[in-house]
Structure 1
Amino acid sequence: MTARTHQVPLVLASVFLAFLGQMTLTPIIAPLSREVGLAEWQVGVTISVAALMVVTTSQSWGRRSQSWGRKPVLVAAMGLATAAMLLFALVAYLGVRGVLAGTWLFVLFVLLRGVAFGTAIAAVPPTAQAYIADVTPDGAQRVRGMAGIGAVQGVAITAGAVVGGVLSGFGLMVPLVAVPVLLAGGLLLVAWRLRRETRAELVADPPRISPRDGRVWPYLVAGFGMFTALGFVQLVTGFVVQDRFGLDAGATGLVTGAALLASGVGLIAAQVLVVPRSGWRPGTLLRVGGAVGTVGFAALVPDLGIAALVAAMLLVGLGLGIGMPGYTAGPTLLVTREEQGGLAGLIGANNGLTFVVAPTAGTSLYSLWAPLPLVISAAVMAAVTAFVLLHPAFARRPAPVLREPVPDQV
């Protein structure tokens, strides 16, 4: 194993810990907002601001990961994330105690969980995706590598649902304190173990990739649709659980955690079992994943009980888990090595763009009629499935891009 491929587990570990910290907070964000007196739309705005920071900084982070190196980018990102969530836990504690309330509390939520944490988390997936693209020479390996990123994200979703849900049983502040601890662990791991690239491995001036580039825009459209459908559902799940089943804050955290756990299990099963063994090309992954995801999102709409909701989330995770490696790997097979950082940043920005609008729209529409964001998510996923079935870009086999080899450091 070369030194460059030997670093892949460390890069994946940084993705895992960053998303574990993020997902540990997810099961308790809805009951926390009600404990501190924030409205549903204010939580939606906070998440949307974080997504806006992902959109505006992902391309820059992706390109910097090639020009500065992966280690400096990940150390900076994990350090900022740790500091932001430590302060967020303090602010939330003051909100629960009644020391902070109203506008000031909302502003601090937006600045810490939105601006600071959003900027930090924006660096992690593009850095990992660009690195995987750099060390996987052919299509099958590329798809498996991108599935590996998705798999650790799925494990993080699963573990975060468990950690956040279980810890919420001891009080909402317990998972809030756990988040910066997890992020600090990721910071120490990257700073201590990740090797910094040599000058020969860096790209001095990585080019930008236009979202209108004919090689990539069909994949961006498909990915945008998938993440928009997820964005409409993800944040309102806690509200759906609490209102549909009449639960208190602690029970809401547990059931929401179970639903997110199911989606994580589906994601992991797809990216550990289905994707590597199927040998499907990116277009096929998108078509199959879109169809399965559509069924899952549609099954969330009717009130069929807790077990049915958890099963629907399992299908959502399975569908997205099959489709996402096709979305992330497909365009990387069509661009040069020098363009991989810019492409990874563009994919990260595209993912973040969906969460600029979807959480705020989802929570606002939920206030009008509870099933409405669920109906919209199912319709969007169905449209994505139709698009990938009909557009010719997904029927073609991507041709490998010739590139100059980068010397491995033993």
Structure 2
Amino acid sequence: MTEVRVRPPTKTAKTIPAVASIVTAAFLGSVIVTPLYSLYQEKFGFSEITLTLVYAVYAVGNVTALLLFGRISDNVGRKRVALPALGLAGGSALLFLFAQSTAWLYAGRLTIGLAVGILSGTGTAWLAEQFGPQRRTRATVTAATANLTGIAVGPLLGGLLGQYAPAPLVLPFLVYLVLLAGAAAAVARIPDERQRSGHGTGRLLVRPRIGVPRDRLRSFVTPAVTGFVTFALGGLYFALIPTIVLRDLHLANIAVSGLVVFELGAVAAVCISLGGRLRPASAMVGGLVALLPAVALVVAAQAARSLALLLLGAAVGGIAMALGYRGSLEVVNRLAPGDRRAEVTSLYFVSCFVGNSVPVIGIGVLSTVASPLTATVAFAAMVGALSVAALLWHRRDPAPG
């Protein structure tokens, strides 16, 4: 009888799921609170403008992390950066768990912003190294799928536990802490080839240094703008869709809000997996085009007070996010030199995170002096104008990367 030998899994096969888990955990933590905002509003009595500011302070943490720590994992190793950043994410969960006032919510959002800013750049660069230059598309698809899986699962988990489980402002964060512990344990067991091979200086450099080589800056414009508008759409859903569902659609069940945002992330994750063979530039252009009907459907849903239109908008928005995020991120990965990959991807994520927050603040401010519908229309016009501008710029530089 012939003996069949089973080859043990390679280090890469073990490492990729572990690295992907830190990206998923980071973005899950950034949105698990989305359906719970109305409960915090009821508990602490803050206004809509305060809600948008609580959400948007997250970007301050993102940008601070990327400016100060954008290249730190290039120098000291990926694992040495990832594990403390997962600890920061756990600290954010504890702040929400024991929140006694709105100030605790600001602190929690700032802390999770720092964690996501560090983990997004580190995790994306780590995955690119694991797949190697010949499999950049798979690296990008894996990173984007991990991101959007977290974005999908977080609101669904928060909404279901917040609506149907006891202790709605406690249990979601306890579950998240358990998930973080699992991700940290997985990362702790895998090798860090960058650290072991002696790449980088080994010094802890904490200083603002992110950027793009001058000869590649022109090609960086389109993916940066694509990231901005794609994450702006995400910010609308993560910050304000629960309010739209409650105020305009008159649905008090917070699980419905979680379901709408889950649909956005789930459709995006599925589309990224199915569209892996699309050329990066083609995916990016498709995402920009799909953003136009996506924001129009949100406006129509709010005006007509229609859950069906909102769900349709979430589906189209998921397609737009999948194509736009995956395509623009892969273009950036192709643009980035190997020794500056975290530096370049960090600048890309700065654009994404600013888009995720600044337009949301604008909606909150405008809704105080005009109607909420007017604010949403203005947001849709901004996203549409930037998308068209990016498409026109792309025609001048049709093959970035």
TM-score normalised over the length of structure 1: 0.84
Q: How many Å separate the matches in 2 of 1:38 and 1:221?
A: 33
The offset of 1:300, in angstroms, is 1.0
What is the distance in 2 between the residues matched to 1:245 and 1:356?
Answer: 24
Distance (Å, rounded) in 2 between the aligned partners of 1:254 and 1:90:
22
Q: Which whole-Å CA distance do the structure 1 matches of 2:124 and 2:147 have between them?
A: 12
2:246 maps to 242
Question: Which residue is equivalent to 1:272?
Answer: 273
Is the Cα–Cα contact under 8 Å of residues 96 and 105 in structure 2 kept in the other structure?
yes
Q: Partners of 2:376 and 2:328 in 1: how far apart?
A: 23
Aligned partner (choices 50, 61, 67) of residue 58 of structure 2:
50
Tell me the number of residue pairs that the alignment of Structure 1 and Structure 2 aligns. 378
Between the aligned partners of 2:213 and 2:228, the Cα distance in structure 1 is 12
Change (3 A) 1:176 1:136: closer
- CA shift for structure 1 position 233: 4.0
Aligned residue in 2 for 1:159: 153
Give 3-state SS (helix, strand or coil) of 2:70's partner.
Answer: helix
Change (3 A) 1:135 1:188: closer
Change in 2 beyond 3 A, CA 1:71/1:108:
same
Matched AA of 1:364: V
- Structure 2 CA distance, aligned partners of 1:144 and 1:26? 30
Which of 92, 105, 129 is the aligned partner of 2:124?
129
Partner secondary structure for residue 289 of structure 1: helix
Q: Which residue of 1 aligns with 2:168?
A: 172
User: Deviation at 1:237?
Assistant: 0.5
- Distance change >3 Å, CA 222–CA 369, structure 1 → 2: same
Instruction: Tell me which residue corresponds to 1:386.
Output: 388
CA contact (8 A) 2:145 2:269 kept: yes
CA distance in 2, matches of 1:108, 1:161: 20
Q: What is the CA-CA distance between 1:287 and the residue it aligns to?
A: 1.2
User: CA, structure 1 residues 393+202, in 2 after alignment: closer, same or farther (shift >3 Å)?
Assistant: farther
Is 22-31 or 384-393 further displaced after alignment?
384-393
Q: Distance in 2 between matches of 1:134 and 1:316?
A: 30
- Residue 360 of structure 1 is matched in structure 2 by 361
CA distance in 1, matches of 2:74, 2:240: 37
Identify the match of residue 289 of structure 1 among 283, 287, 290. 287
* CA deviation string 1:178-222 (max 9, x = no partner): 33333333233323x232334425222897424973342332122
Taking a change above 3 Å as real, the CA distance of residues 58 and 347 of structure 1, as seen in their structure-2 partners, is same
Counterpart amino acid of 2:281? G
Query: Is 2:18 aligned against 1:7?
Result: no
Q: How do residues 155-234 of structure 1 correspond to structure 2 at under 5 angstroms?
A: 155-169=149-163, 170=165, 171-173=167-169, 174-191=171-188, 193-197=189-193, 198-200=195-197, 202-204=199-201, 208-210=210-212, 213-234=217-238
- Residue 260 of structure 1: CA displacement? 0.7
Q: C-alpha root-mean-square deviation of aligned residues, in Å?
A: 2.5
Which of 80, 86, 95 is matched with 2:88 structurally? 80
Give the letter for the 1:182 counterpart: L
Residues 115-146 of structure 1: per-residue CA shift (max 9 Å, x gap): x222122111101211233344457x323321
Secondary structure at 2:32 match in 1: helix
Taking the aligned partners of 1:361 and 1:392, their CA distance within structure 2 comes to 27
Shift in Å at residue 318 of structure 1?
Answer: 1.1
Residues 377 and 216 of structure 1, relative CA distance in 2, 3 Å threshold: same
Residue 108 of structure 2 is matched in structure 1 by: 112
Aligned partners of 2:86 and 2:329: how far apart in 1? 23
Residues of 1 paired with 2:126 and 2:139: CA distance? 10
On the 8 A contact 1:218/1:393 being kept in 2, the answer is: no
Matched letter for residue 345 of structure 1? S
1:332 matched to 2:333? The reply is yes
Deviation, structure 1 residue 226? 2.2
Distance 1:225 1:245, change over 3 A: closer
Deviates further, 175-184 or 35-44 = 175-184
Cα offset, 1:11, TM superposition:
0.6
Say which structure, 1 or 2, has more relative contact order (CA 8 Å, 6+ apart): 1
Moved more, 351-360 or 37-46: 351-360
Deviation at 1:4, TM superposition (A): 4.6
| Shift, 1:229, TM fit | 3.4
1:67 equivalenced with 2:75 (yes/no): yes
Mean Cα displacement is larger for which, 201-210 or 374-383? 201-210
The superposition leaves residues 325-373 of structure 1 with CA deviations (integer Å, 9 ceiling, x where unpaired) of 1111112212310110101211222222223422322223334312234
Consecutive unaligned residues in structure 1, runs of 5 or more: 95-104, 400-410
Q: Matched residues in 1 for 2:178 and 2:38: separation?
A: 22
Cα deviation for residue 73 of structure 1 reads 0.8
Q: Which runs of 5+ in 2 are unaligned?
A: 1-8
Structure 2 CA distance for aligned equivalents of residues 201 and 348 of structure 1? 27
